[in-house]
Structure 1
Amino acid sequence: MRRVTVRQVLRSAGRASLHLVTGAGLSLVCYLMIGLMLVAATATVTVIGAGMLPETVRALRGLAGFERRRTAAWLGSPVPEKYLPLDQGSLLERVRAAGTDPGTYRDLRWLAAQLLYGLVLCYAAMVLWPLGLLVDGAWCGLARRTPVLLPRLTDLADFQARISRLLLLPSPSARLSERIDQLAATRAGAVAAHGAELRRIERDLHDGAQAHLVALSMRLGLARRAYDRDPTAARSLLDTAQDQAEEALAELRHVVRGIHPPVLTDRGLVGAVRALAAGSGLEVTVVAHGLADGPGYESRAPAAVEAAAYFVVAEGLTNAAKHSGAERAGVELRRAERALRVRVWDEGRGGADESAGSGLLGVRRRVAALDGTVCLTSPSGGPTVVEVELPCVW
């Protein structure tokens, strides 16, 4: 067990060292980039080489983008970017965009800082390695303890990645602008989904319940006229009218279930999903983590979140039964700290395409209206997996 622990420490220390050495190499490239930026700025001031500035800023963005990807790979979370476009308008407009973009100044700030901390941390790692091997070797061999110095290399790599992330994140105003754009797109999708839902309800009412109610009214009128002269015929008309009233009620229940399924109120999300699974025609496994299996409200999400999760599962199982050719599927519901996660999968042929129909697009719009996310994975040959995260407060 001790040797496995040492091997793991050495592996993580080696990975951290590679990250730090790459950062040092990037620092050397930064020296060249600073020189190129000075040449481009000078050429722009003299007007003769004004076209150099947009292309040099484009190269700077590429270098900063490499550091963003490297940092994201180490930290496990993406580092967003926000820039003004450099390929639109005249040369003067492109030069102005390159020179006034807040993202350019943040990249330059990172460029200057990377020259310092990239090399310093790499030198620290070069000193720490032989010292760590000497001290940790004696510490592990004699005291039989876990290494203490070599793990510090991982801390150095964490420190470098966090500084890079802090320097390369878009400005608060840029993030606010991006958030506004995202909310505008989400609102447009929600309005489109709402309009489609209203049209569906109107169509269902017009073609279903309304048609039955019109026929019911006509039957009742005929029965009233025939009541005095032919009671037998009137009774037959009333029997038919009763059947049509029951059909109209069934249509109305169907419309109501499309708005907010009563089963959610009666049985809770887990029970409602189990009912969907039982009626899907597939062999469906339902797993719930941290959710009450019943109508209890002590661990339930808000009604809008539960309804969205229900329709995600319904759409996923419907697609699996109709298009995938699968015999088995699964649903996983998981309560997170501030979210509800839903995962629907099937063992079918795969190849699901959002653009081929309105079902998956409707799911994405419904989830986006709640500021949630949808991830669809469906390679040819399967499996198809739909993963949804819905923010909520429990």
Structure 2
Amino acid sequence: MSELLSAFRLAALTPAAEAFRQEVQAFLQTNFDPPSPARRARSWMGFDAGFSRQLAQRGWVGVTLPRAYGGAELDAFSRYVLVEELLAAGAPVSAHWIADRQSGPLILKFGSEAQRHFYLPRICAAEAFFCIGMSEPNSGSDLASVGSRAERVAGGWRLNGRKLWTTNAQNCQYMIALVRTSGSATDRQKGLSQLIVDLSLPGVTVRPIRDLAGDEHFNEVFFDDVLLADDALIGAEGDGWKQVNAELAFERSGPERIYSSIALLEHWIACLRRGPNAGRHAATLGHFATQLATLRRMSIAVTAKLAAGESPVVEAALVKDIGTGFEQSIAAVIEGLLADDPAADVDDALLATAAYLTQVAPTFSLRGGTREILRGMIARGLGLR
């Protein structure tokens, strides 16, 4: 474990990034009315294309992408600050989130020049929204067992299969799908490729899945003889496993993996300050504060590796595993403390926020890779398997 922990070299946000924070805060104060705590808790699952386009007009979608493709060409530290401030405010960022965080950087790194010039300016303008096509029925987080298949045909590919838990597929124009282009599921990592799927094509069916909270973020997507052009392939055929792991490092490393429950924690603190026993839960608050401070430092250390051009797959997996546990604990602990005193007069907004997060918290350790998958990666990084 010491070898892995040593990879988290202490890093700090740059002065330029901290100066950028002031700009983001000023924008939010002027252009965004803070929602209720329960709505804030939906921040990076809140879909608002109009708000995403407001950000895009300032160059804040695709912020790390080169100017030649419509991006702001800012560094990973500036993107970290932008994400942190948007999440803290509870802004609805889900529309552009995946394209900004991983689809755009993936296309930049592995895509053809034609793909970069077509997709990246549309991402930066918040005109093209992407979803992730990884998980499938009967495979879940075991991505090496995916069964969706694309076969070579005249002029391109014929795609058949299903994807599951696909966030915002009903609102997106494109999906980057991990599919098998050769061999069988028993070949595991071999024979996998990534394709860009236009979700408006004939043969694509998107079916929303309603969750316990009544939201419809997740979807099941069916591909029935979907014909894709030859240039739908990203990178080289058979390189999908290498590419998807690089993509997942982007997905797992950001502050969204530690701030999903922050609206509940902040509102609980506000309620405690208004009450007669403000210091009653000082030890619990201290526990949360130390965890959050440590996780934030670890997340910034991963960002420093991304800024240096590295692919911190194992480090990002560790932050995601510990971070989602922290997020889940906030909802569990606060709900337990509220239940300890059922006769107390509890703020309605606090109850609503706690109820929502209790319902969705189990997904925190599923999205972006289950604990079992992440811990397997960490074990390999430690040389234990």
TM-score (norm 1): 0.26
Task: Identify, as 1 or 2, the structure richer in helix.
Answer: 1
TM-score (norm 2): 0.26
- Higher RCO (CA < 8 A, seq sep 6+): 2
